[in-house]
Amino acid sequence: MNRKVDILVVGAGPAGIVSAVTARRYYPDKNILVIKNVANGCIPCGIPYMFSSLKNPQDNILGIDSLTKNNIEVALDEAVKINREGKSIKTKSADEYVYEKLILATGSSPVIPKISGIDKKGVYPIYKDMDYLKTCVEEIKKAKSVLIVGGGFIGIEFADEISNIGGIDVYLVEALPHLLTNSFDQDFSLLAEERLKARGVKIFLNTRVGEILGKDKVERVRFETGEELKIESIILGIGAVPNTKLATDAGLDLGRGKGLWVDEYMRTSDPDIFAVGDCAGKRDFYTRRDTAVMLASTATAEARVAGASLYQLKVVRENKGTIAIYSTYVDGLVLGSAGLTETSAKKEGFEIVAGNTEGVDKHPKGLPGANKIKVKLIFSRQSGILMGGQVSGGISAGEMINIIGMAIQKRVSLTELETLQMATHPYLTSAPTMYPIVLAAQNALGKV
Amino acid sequence: MNRKVDILVVGAGPAGIVSAVTARRYYPDKNILVIKNVANGCIPCGIPYMFSSLKNPQDNILGIDSLTKNNIEVALDEAVKINREGKSIKTKSADEYVYEKLILATGSSPVIPKISGIDKKGVYPIYKDMDYLKTCVEEIKKAKSVLIVGGGFIGIEFADEISNIGGIDVYLVEALPHLLTNSFDQDFSLLAEERLKARGVKIFLNTRVGEILGKDKVERVRFETGEELKIESIILGIGAVPNTKLATDAGLDLGRGKGLWVDEYMRTSDPDIFAVGDCAGKRDFYTRRDTAVMLASTATAEARVAGASLYQLKVVRENKGTIAIYSTYVDGLVLGSAGLTETSAKKEGFEIVAGNTEGVDKHPKGLPGANKIKVKLIFSRQSGILMGGQVSGGISAGEMINIIGMAIQKRVSLTELETLQMATHPYLTSAPTMYPIVLAAQNALGKV
């Protein structure tokens, strides 16, 4: 089959879906087709919650309703070759799609470490494929023990959820001295570690898996320290690499990073080919270095830029660079991070000043459901500009990190934060006299 | 007694406390004294929660620990006269305090409407005085029925809390066609009305109290419509007026509004006298008109400006004007508003475009505890600048309104919001593809 489409999107994860839907909004007369290579995708950040929080793992499906209701076609197939001269794509089913504009949203693949025994049964990398994941969940639930490799967001969320099930010994192993070190300074990492330990999760820090042992199936792991554990299943949560082969085979440029080189409007080195999401390279907001942020929220922001910019650059892009902005949830504790940590800012060479505060997220603090809240803000010392923030607290901390994210993106200063106008309410926030973003800014100001 | 102090603060509400504490930070060598005229103050926004949410009404006390631990003296007395030439204040106890810098944080007093019978026993204006309020709470809890006059924030929070107690018939009367009309458009007001009705609160809209009947004590009210209700107690929640007499008697200027005229640094027409909080006039962020915003959060922002600016203007104030930014809570529903509503923007003459979205505050939506979330954003049509926003949802909506508030204060544009970078998490936010602030911006963009 040979078909002509106007806009062709490869990939139906959040980046693919949002770029297609945005393209529909900006270019209502174009025909749009999305090629997806897994029958049933899933909501990436919902994967850990398929174990316990969701009644039915199937509820985590990433539907394509938003495509069909926006008059966007979907084909289940896999793009295998780009012909840039002919502006077409070949698929696994030997179909050919001719495009005017091509959006690559090919995502990323889990890192599979080169460990002896990694290919044994019972070792589960996290592929974003509902049918695969449902099997993983079933198998892991049958096990008596699970080792999660990698103490980043995914790792701690799996550990939290699986420890909820009961009856499974949960182990978490991290090569670095603390969990979550990419996004949090030590005092925040410790909070997550405490919660997981209290749930019975056994954490190994400064530790690497040396070997996976067993006949066909995982039976034990041996850490590089020599220590051994009896283990029935292993989840790999140590990061992902961009899926760029389709693009690089066609001569598209990677630039200096591992993702595809893109300009401010998500155009690759071929002006008719865009790349969005995990497969696209990202430039750090502060330094313009390559940064390995792979988040669905980042992907959707990029997809909105690409979808609008296919035939014309409709708007000037305002934020030139990616900030890492995350939140996570462990045993009721919310942790959020935006921008640089104190550690990462110093490593990057910034002279900074950090402000800290701790309080309660309701007022008076005797109100039911009050949680401790802790905020840290990192400012450039001389320029006074906000460069990063971390929050821990209850549910409200999940949006509080987005206040900090907005402030970073708008390059808000220390002195502006000190006199911020904000809404406060007994059930919803700290007292106006104690609003943590303001107090953390004041604490930093006291050190300048 | 005649005493010399460097910095004298009149009033120990949030504005007085925060200006004194800020002055301590900026001017560590000055001696500071706060005159307070009620023995036990209370957290203003916590007052409704003294009825039911707080185990002990006393927990709502506004302590002065932050003053004493910052080496700030406190005197229980009442300032009755300012002598500007001599730079001194006379008190009710006939003491005299000579100051270098004076901060007026005299607050506001509840509006007492001129209704026949308003002075009967059982009618309770809300004074921010713990001893008075404890008696109110006790008396109202003994009653079989209560009428709350005024359907603003205070009114609906009292209605919600008192309906929690059980056994008390709760009535709420509002002169305007809907509750909360100062801060919300009708579709949001309706949500609050539904919740209160579901709790059994009887709401009278477009209705005014004509007369309060009874011997010494309230027994009935007659509405202007002629309808009568048996009522044992009445709470007045129809607003407040700035306490400015002390200042105006000394010749300080009111400007065009009801509050004291102040410049950008909270200096009154006398450069050694500052005014902060409810007693100080506020200029609207968009129009520079006088605005009657009286919120503890606004007061504390002003207090931080004043406290820093007493002897020198330490920093350039960045936000020139007050935005109304509030949140409230009724039966688990959170409502937040920042800046102008669609109605108020149109009334002011702005050509606007509004964007709306409705969704769920977790993803996938099957996660436990998910709430509906609804966001409305108001933009200047030509300039694309954000002018206001409203949110309804669960707990997280309380900080989401502060994202919008930050964006307003930084004059964020429609197109910036469309590609906002934000943190999303299954338990904490909508999906990245459905983040409500982004979707509301896109909805507005579709109308431009």
pLDDT-based confidence at residue A1 (cuts at 50, 70, 90):
confident
Do B206 and B281 lie in one domain? The reply is no
CA distance B165 to A89: 67
Strands A88-91 and A96-98: antiparallel
Mean pLDDT (chain B) is: 96
CB of A162 within 8 A of CB of A196? no
Task: Using DSSP, state whether B193 is helix, strand or coil.
Answer: helix
The whole-number pLDDT of residue A292 equals 87
Find the mean pLDDT for residues B9-23: 97
Averaged pLDDT, A345-355:
97
Q: Judge whether residue A275 has pLDDT over 80.
A: yes
What was the pLDDT predicted at A365?
A: 86
A315 pLDDT tier (thresholds 50, 70, 90): confident
Neighbours of A116 (CB within 10 A): 12
Q: Return the pLDDT at A240.
A: 95
Confidence (pLDDT) at A84: 98
Q: Domain check: are B216 and B268 in the same one?
A: no
Q: Do β-strands B96-98 and B88-91 pair in parallel, antiparallel, or remain unpaired?
A: antiparallel
- The verdict on B170 and B246 lying in the same domain is no
The predicted model gives B304-326 an average pLDDT of 91
Test the B interface: residue of A265, A326, A386, A399 with most B CBs within 10 Å: A399
Structural domain contains residue A43? no
Q: What is the CATH number of the domain that holds B341?
A: 3.30.390.30
Distance CA B390, CA B435 (A): 15
Which residue reads 């959707």 in tokens?
A: A300
Q: Pick the residue with more confidence: A318 or A109?
A: A109
Tell me the DSSP string of B79-122: EEEEETTTTEEEETTS-EEE-SEEEE---EEE-----BTTTSBT
Asked whether residue B350 is domain-assigned, the answer is: yes
Cross-chain Cβ contact B433/A17 below 8 Å: yes
B153 occurs within a structural domain: yes
Q: Is residue A314 in some structural domain?
A: no
Q: Which whole number is the average pLDDT over B208-217?
A: 96
Q: What is the pLDDT of residue A182?
A: 92
The pTM of this model reads 0.96
For residue range B358-388, list pLDDT tens digits in order: 999 999 988 999 999 999 999 999 999 999 9
Residue A85 CB partners (closer than 8 Å, separation 6+): none
Q: For an interface test with B, which of A427, A429, A430, A437 has the most B Cβ atoms less than 10 Å from its Cβ?
A: A427
Decide if A114 is inside a domain. Answer: no
What are the strands of the beta sheet with B73-76, ordered from one edge?
B73-76, B32-36, B7-10, B101-104, B273-275
Single-letter residue type at B228: E
Contacts of A327 in chain B (CB under 8 A): 423-425, 428-429
CA distance A22 to A274: 14
- Helix (DSSP H) and strand (DSSP E) numbers for chain B: 11, 26
Q: Verify that B173 and B186 share a domain, yes or no.
A: yes
Looking up tokens 């079989």 gives B144
Can you give the pLDDT at residue B315? 85
Split at pLDDT 50, 70, 90, the class of B431 is very high
Chain B contacts of A301, Cβ < 8 Å? Answer: 419-422
Residue-wise pLDDT for A109-147, tens only, equals 999 999 999 999 999 999 999 999 999 999 999 999 999
How close B57 gets to chain A, by Cα (Å)? 10
Q: pLDDT for A385-405, tens place per residue?
A: 999 999 999 999 999 999 999
pLDDT band at A367 (very low <50, low <70, confident <90, very high): very high
Give the number of beta-carbon pairs within 8 Å between A and B. 278
- Among the partner residues A14, A328, A409, nearest to B432 by beta-carbon distance: A14
- The residues pairing with B123 across neighbouring beta strands, listed in sequence order, are B234
Give the Cα separation of B265 and B272 in Å (integer).
12
A142 to chain B, closest Cα gap in Å: 23
> Mean pLDDT over residues B92-119, rounded?
97
Q: What is the average per-residue pLDDT within A401-416?
A: 97
Which of A308, A323, A343 lies at the terminal end of a domain, its last residue?
A308
Q: What is the largest CA-CA distance in chain A?
A: 69
- Before B432, cis peptide (omega within 30)? no
A210 and A179 co-located in one domain: yes
Cβ distance of A327 and B55 shorter than 8 Å: no
| Domain span including residue B267 | 2-37+77-108+241-309
Q: Residue A441 corresponds to which tokens in the numbers above?
A: 């800014």
Q: Place B257 in a pLDDT band, splitting at 50, 70 and 90.
A: confident
Candidates B428, B430, B447, B448, partner chain A, best to mutate (most A CBs within 10 A):
B428
Asked if the model's pLDDT at residue B185 lies above 90, the reply is yes
Considering the domain architecture, whether residues B232 and B136 belong to the same structural domain is answered as yes
CA distance B253 to chain A (A): 25
Could you tell me the pLDDT band of residue A320, with boundaries at 50, 70 and 90? confident
The CATH number that applies at residue A98 is 3.50.50.60
Task: Work out the minimum CA distance from B266 to partner chain A, whole angstroms.
Answer: 13
Comparing CB atoms, the residue among A334, A402, A410 nearest residue B422 is A402
Contact A329 B418 (CB under 8 A): no
What is the count of structural domains for chain A? 3
Written in H, E and C, the secondary structure of chain A is: CEEECCEEEECCCHHHHHHHHHHHHHCCCCCEEEEECCCCCECHHHHHHHCCCCCCHHHHECCCHHHHCCCCEEEECCEEEEECCCCEEEECCCCEEECCEEEECCCEEECCCCCECCCCECEEECCCCHHHHHHHHHHHHHCCEEEEECCCHHHHHHHHHHHHHCCCEEEEECCCCCCCCCCCCHHHHHHHHHHHHHCCCEEECCCCEEEEECCCECCEEEECCCCEEECCEEEECCCEEECCHHHHHCCCCCCCCCCECCCCCCECCCCCEEECHHHECEEECCCCCEECCCCHHHHHHHHHHHHHCCCCCCCCCCCCCECCEEEEEECCEEEEEEECCHHHHHHHCCCEEEEEEEEECCCCCCCCCCCEEEEEEEEECCCCEEEEEEEEECCCHHHHHHHHHHHHHCCCEHHHHHCCCCCCCCCCCCCHHHCHHHHHHHHHHCCC
Parallel/antiparallel/unpaired status of strands B352-360 and B372-380:
antiparallel
**Residue A318 predicted with pLDDT over 80:** no
**Backbone torsions φ then ψ of A139, nearest 5 degrees:** -65, -45
| pLDDT > 80? residue B319 | no
Closest chain B residue to A153, measured at CA: B425
Shared-domain flag, residues A209 and A287:
no
Q: What residues of A are in contact with residue B423 (Cβ under 8 Å)?
A: 297, 325-327, 336-338, 398, 401-402, 405
Is B318's CB within 8 Å of A419's CB? Answer: yes
Residue with tokens 């931080």: B304
Q: Cα separation of B366 and B372, whole Å?
A: 12
Residue A353 has pLDDT above 90, yes or no: yes
d(CA A418, CA A232): 53
Dump the DSSP string for B301-362: HHHHHHHHHSSS--S-----SBPPEEEEEETTEEEEEEE--HHHHHHTT--EEEEEEEEESS
Asked whether the predicted pLDDT for residue B275 surpasses 90, the reply is yes
Which ipTM value was assigned to this complex? 0.95
Contact flag A419-B317 (C-beta cutoff 8 Å): yes
Q: What does the longest C-alpha to C-alpha distance in chain B come to? A: 69
Half-sphere exposure in the Cβ direction for B55 (13 Å, CA) = 5
The answer to whether residues A285 and A372 belong to one domain is no
Instruction: Indicate whether B55 belongs to any domain.
Output: no
Let me know if residue A303 belongs to a domain. Answer: yes
Q: Name the average pLDDT for chain A.
A: 96
pLDDT tens-place string over residues A49-87? 999 999 999 999 998 999 999 999 999 999 999 999 999
What is the mean pLDDT of the segment spanning A206-225? 97
- Is position A53 within any domain? no
The span from the CA of B266 to the CA of B260, in Å, is 10
Work out the average pLDDT over B274-303: 94
* B35 strand-pairing partners: B10, B75
Task: Give backbone dihedrals phi and psi of B441, rounded to 5 degrees, phi first.
Answer: -65, -45
Q: Going by C-beta distance under 8 Å and a sequence separation of 6 or more, which residues neighbour residue B223?
A: B173, B204, B207, B208, B209, B210, B229
Do residue A398 and residue B442 have CB atoms under 8 angstroms apart? no
pLDDT band at residue B220 using 50, 70 and 90 as cut-offs: very high
φ, ψ for residue B342, nearest 5 deg: -60, -45
Tens digits of residue pLDDT in A22-55: 999 999 999 999 999 999 999 999 999 999 999 9
pLDDT score at B350: 97
CA distance to partner chain A, nearest, from residue B137 (Å) = 17
Among A238, A271, A298, where does a domain finish?
A: A238
User: Using the beta-carbon criterion (under 8 Å), do B327 and A425 form an inter-chain contact?
Assistant: yes
Q: Are residues B224 and B259 in the same domain?
A: no
Residue-level pLDDT at B316? 86
* pLDDT for the residue B321: 92
Q: Do B232 and B249 belong to one domain?
A: no
pLDDT at A349 over 90: yes
pLDDT on residue B256:
83
Residue A342 and residue A440 in one domain: yes
Closest CB to B25: pick one of A396, A400, A446. A446
* Among A253, A275, A308, residue at a domain's last position: A308
Contact call for residues B195 and B331 (beta carbons, < 8 A): yes
pLDDT tens for each residue of A152-186: 999 999 999 999 999 999 999 999 999 999 999 99
Asked if the model's pLDDT at residue B145 lies above 80, the reply is yes
Q: Do B296 and A424 touch (CB under 8 A)?
A: yes
The answer on pLDDT for A314 being more than 90 is no
Distance of CA B48 to the CA centre of its chain: 13
Are residues A224 and A245 both part of a single domain?
no
